[in-house]
């Protein structure tokens, strides 16, 4: 166990979902980290899936991938982007994982003779998963509990928090309850009753909230704070306003103004003397809000009606844009609607294009048309994962003349599978957690755009795929100008492709978007924004 006295912060939500617990947790993490504390953030998801890897992005937004290959909730992306530090398998726990572990133990005979029950067996496993992070020597662990207080499926988590608070002892843990103050336009009032009820509901489960963070569209008056304090048993300074702001990156500053971090540190009996340093963060925000240039980049994907499906990509453009004093406007293009006839109209006036990752054959032909358009019109293009595979298919069909070229994912009978199933995937039957996942090495060749962009020949990037560039065709591709600029040094898998005589035509089998943070914008996104501005 850790030698440190690790402190635990639990973040619960009340009244409605989608109040932004993830952003509040990430903001608090940033404020504490900037005071010198070693902080990590964990998400507990009450659904029964083992992980969100098999969920449709429409259900749950993007699936975020960690360095160690966990397929996780998109909130982990926020944690990494705010804290600029990596999360892992241990940072996302689901009810599915909890039950799987307990049932496996039961089958092994670990509970022989005993009835296995929600309390204590499930709650013990939840507590173990929360405390496991303390072994990594964090000063503070923030645990966000998914769902809303009162949901049947979050009950075991709430009960585990109750037990832990008792076990950890005074000043070693605290509960932050995020709630909504609805505004009644007719009477021009913010209402506190739903928050009173949700705090009371938490108390019925044996938990007293220490801090209330109130989502609101309007400023909270002193009187309302006093009222909430009185009804919810917290000091008035522990009632924090979380007002709607134009960007999520503003939230830490709004919370800091109200001394949110100080309130938290006092509750945990931690020193408040060290001032937090948000100089770089403020500088980023200033650049983001005062761009000197503007570019428009088409994001070609098949989940275009829901921006959460490409969350990390959109955020990576914000980080890269700010670093270049450039506003990046994204034009969301649904590839299912693209035809030869409407291509130029759809891409009129764009400065660059990104072809998104994805699975399945819906919208594929539209993406192929988009890649052709970018290649022929010298529009800077970045293809990510499926995007790179699309660039491969397009080039094979239209430059190499292999008319039936395709990915084995979409056409098993094609004579020219320029994208084929990876060898190690051939015997895989299970869908969950079986892709090539997480960080893998890539070696960049000299005199390539990518080595210039990264400034380093050995890189590692995160992956999530089953199919790969079929190296049988590599010679043919390279002779015609599309060459492998990066390969995995161990397996020789083609990781990146670049086109000669084009300002920026780059496909990557990996997902650079997962590694972009506010503090460290990803060089590939920065390069695409620069190329767009130059166009
Ligand atoms: N469907 C493709 C594969 O499995 C691409 C995956 C992706 O874009 N993440 O290889």
Interval 47-61: pLDDT, tens: 999 999 988 887 778
Characterize 438-458 residue by residue with b for buried, 16 or more Cβ atoms within 10 angstroms of its Cβ, and e for exposed: bbbebbbeeebbbbebbeeee
Q: How confident is the model at residue 306 (pLDDT cuts 50, 70, 90)?
A: low
Instruction: Flag whether 58 is marked binding.
Output: yes
Q: How far apart are CA 19 and CA 506, in angstroms?
A: 38
Residue extent(s) of CATH 3.40.50.300 domains in the chain: 7-282
- The alpha carbon of 311 and the centre of ligand 1 are apart by a number of angstroms equal to 17
**pLDDT digit string, tens, across residues 410-439:** 999 999 999 999 999 999 888 999 999 999
467 lines ligand 1 (CB under 6 A): yes
409 CB within 6 A, ligand 1: yes
Asked whether residue 194 is marked as a ligand-binding residue, the answer is yes
465 CB under 6 A from ligand 1? Answer: yes
- Give yes or no for residue 274 having a pLDDT over 80: no
Tokens of 53: 């890897």
d(CA 360, ligand 1 centre) in Å: 8
Our answer on whether the CB atom of 507 is closer than 6 Å to any ligand 1 atom is no
> How far apart are alpha carbons 310 and 1 in whole angstroms?
38
68-87 residues labelled b (16+ CB within 10 A) or e (exposed): ebbbbbbbbbbbbbbbeebb
Which of 422, 464, 495 to probe ligand 1 with, by most ligand atoms within 8 A of CB? 464
Residue 321, marked binder: no
What pLDDT, on the 0 to 100 scale, is given for residue 3?
57
pLDDT > 70: what percent of the chain? 99
40 marked as part of a ligand binding site:
no
197 flagged as catalytic: no
From the list 121, 319, 502, 511, the catalytic residue is 511
Q: Which value, to the nearest 10 degrees, does the dihedral of the CA atoms of residues 419, 420, 422, 428 take?
A: 130
Nearest atom in ligand 1 to the alpha carbon of residue 385 is 8
| Percent share of the chain, pLDDT over 90 | 92
pLDDT over 80 (residue 4): no
Quote the mean pLDDT of the chain.
95
Atom of ligand 1 nearest to the CA of 357: 8
Catalytic residue among 385, 442, 461, 468: 385
Q: For 200-221, what is each residue's pLDDT tens digit?
A: 999 999 999 999 999 999 999 9
The verdict on the CB of residue 53 being under 6 Å from ligand 1 is no
Q: How confident is the model at residue 288 (pLDDT cuts 50, 70, 90)?
A: very high
- Cα(388) to ligand 1 centroid in Å equals 9
63 is an active site residue = no
Using the atom order of ligand 1, give the atom closest to the CA of residue 419.
10
Confidence label for 2 from pLDDT (cuts 50, 70 and 90): very low
Q: Which of 358, 393, 509 to probe ligand 1 with, by most ligand atoms within 8 A of CB?
A: 358
Least confident of 36-50, 52-66, 254-268: 52-66
Q: Which residue has the higher pLDDT, 276 or 305?
A: 276
pLDDT-derived band at 535 (thresholds 50, 70, 90) equals confident
CATH class of 7-282: alpha beta
Give dist(CA 161, CA 476) in Å, integer.
60
Active site residue 214: no
pLDDT at 492 over 70: yes
Rounded to two decimals, the pTM is 0.95
Q: Is the CB of 359 under 6 A from ligand 1?
A: yes
For residues 470 and 419, the answer to whether their CB atoms sit within 8 Å is yes
At 309-320, the pLDDT tens digits run: 899 999 999 999
Residues of the chain with CATH 3.40.50.880: 292-533
Tell me what pLDDT residue 277 has.
84
Those residues whose C-beta lies under 8 Å from the C-beta of residue 33, and which sit 6 or more positions away, are 39, 83, 85
Per-residue confidence (pLDDT) for residue 220, from 0 to 100:
95
357 lines ligand 1 (CB under 6 A): yes
Candidate from 14-23, 75-84, 340-349, 371-380 with smallest mean pLDDT? 14-23
| Whether the CB of 386 sits within 6 Å of ligand 1 | yes
Q: Shortest CA distance to 158 belongs to which of 7, 15, 12?
A: 12
Task: Give bridge partners of residue 280 from the DSSP assignment.
Answer: none
Residue scoring higher pLDDT (148 or 307): 148
pLDDT at 110: 96
CATH number, span 292-533: 3.40.50.880
Q: Is the pLDDT of residue 1 over 50?
A: no
Mean pLDDT check: name the lowest of 222-226, 272-276, 285-289, 512-516.
272-276
In sequence order, the 6+-apart residues with CB closer than 8 A to the CB of 37 are 139, 140, 270
What 3-state class would DSSP assign to 532? helix
Residue 224 has pLDDT above 90, yes or no: yes
- Which mutation among 359, 393, 422, 426 tests ligand 1's pocket best, with the greatest number of atoms within 8 A of CB? 359
pLDDT at 305: 64
């Amino acid at each position: 166990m850790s030698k440190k006295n690790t402190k635990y912060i639990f973040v619960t939500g009340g009244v409605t979902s989608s109040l932004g617990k993830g952003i509040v947790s990430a903001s608090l993490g940033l404020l504490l980290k900037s005071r010198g504390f070693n902080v990590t953030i964990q998400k507990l998801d009450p659904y029964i899936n083992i992980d969100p890897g098999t969920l449709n992005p429409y259900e749950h937004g993007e699936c975020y991938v960690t360095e160690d290959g966990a397929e996780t909730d998109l909130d982990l992306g926020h944690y990494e982007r705010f804290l600029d530090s990596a999360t892992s398998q241990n940072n996302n726990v689901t009810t599915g994982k909890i039950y799987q572990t307990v049932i496996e133990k039961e089958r092994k005979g670990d509970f022989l003779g005993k009835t296995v029950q929600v309390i204590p067996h499930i709650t013990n496993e939840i507590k173990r998963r929360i405390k496991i992070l303390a072994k990594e020597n964090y000063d503070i662990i923030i645990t966000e509990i998914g769902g809303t207080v009162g949901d049947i499926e979050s009950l075991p988590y709430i009960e585990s928090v109750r037990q832990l608070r008792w076990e950890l002892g005074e000043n070693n843990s605290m509960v932050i309850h995020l709630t909504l103050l609805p505004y009644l336009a007719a009477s021009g009032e913010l209402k506190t009753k739903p928050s009173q009820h949700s705090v009371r509901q938490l108390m019925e489960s044996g938990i007293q909230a220490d801090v209330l963070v109130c989502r609101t569209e309007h400023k909270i008056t002193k009187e309302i704070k006093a009222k909430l304090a009185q009804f919810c048993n917290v000091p008035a300074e522990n009632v924090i306003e979380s007002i709607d702001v134009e960007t999520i990156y503003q939230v830490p500053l709004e919370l800091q103004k109200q001394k949110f971090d100080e309130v938290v540190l006092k509750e945990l009996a931690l020193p408040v003397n060290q001032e937090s340093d948000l100089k770089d963060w403020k500088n980023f925000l200033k650049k983001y809000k005062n761009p000197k240039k503007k570019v428009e980049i088409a994001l070609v994907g098949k989940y275009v009606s829901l921006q959460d499906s490409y969350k990390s990509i959109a955020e990576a453009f914000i980080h890269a844009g700010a670093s270049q004093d450039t506003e990046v406007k994204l034009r969301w293009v649904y590839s299912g609607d693209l035809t030869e006839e409407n291509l130029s109209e759809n891409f009129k006036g764009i400065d660059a294009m990104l072809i998104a990752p994805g699975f399945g054959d819906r919208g594929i032909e539209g993406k192929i048309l988009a890649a052709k358009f970018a290649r022929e019109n010298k529009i800077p293009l970045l293809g990510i994962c499926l995007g790179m595979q699309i660039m491969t298919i397009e080039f094979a069909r239209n430059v190499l003349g292999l008319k039936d070229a395709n990915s084995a994912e979409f056409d098993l009978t094609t004579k020219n599978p320029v994208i084929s199933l990876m060898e190690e995937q051939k015997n895989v039957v299970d869908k969950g957690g079986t892709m090539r996942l997480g960080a893998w090495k890539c070696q960049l060749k000299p005199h390539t755009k990518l080595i210039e962009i990264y400034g380093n020949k050995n890189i590692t990037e995160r992956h999530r795929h089953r199919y790969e560039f079929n190296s049988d065709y590599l010679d043919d591709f390279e002779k015609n100008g599309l060459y492998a600029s990066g390969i995995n040094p161990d397996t020789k898998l083609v990781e990146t492709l670049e086109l000669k005589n084009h300002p920026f035509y780059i496909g990557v089998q990996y997902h650079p978007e997962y590694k972009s943070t506010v503090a460290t914008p990803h060089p590939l996104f920065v390069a695409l924004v620069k190329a767009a501005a130059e166009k």
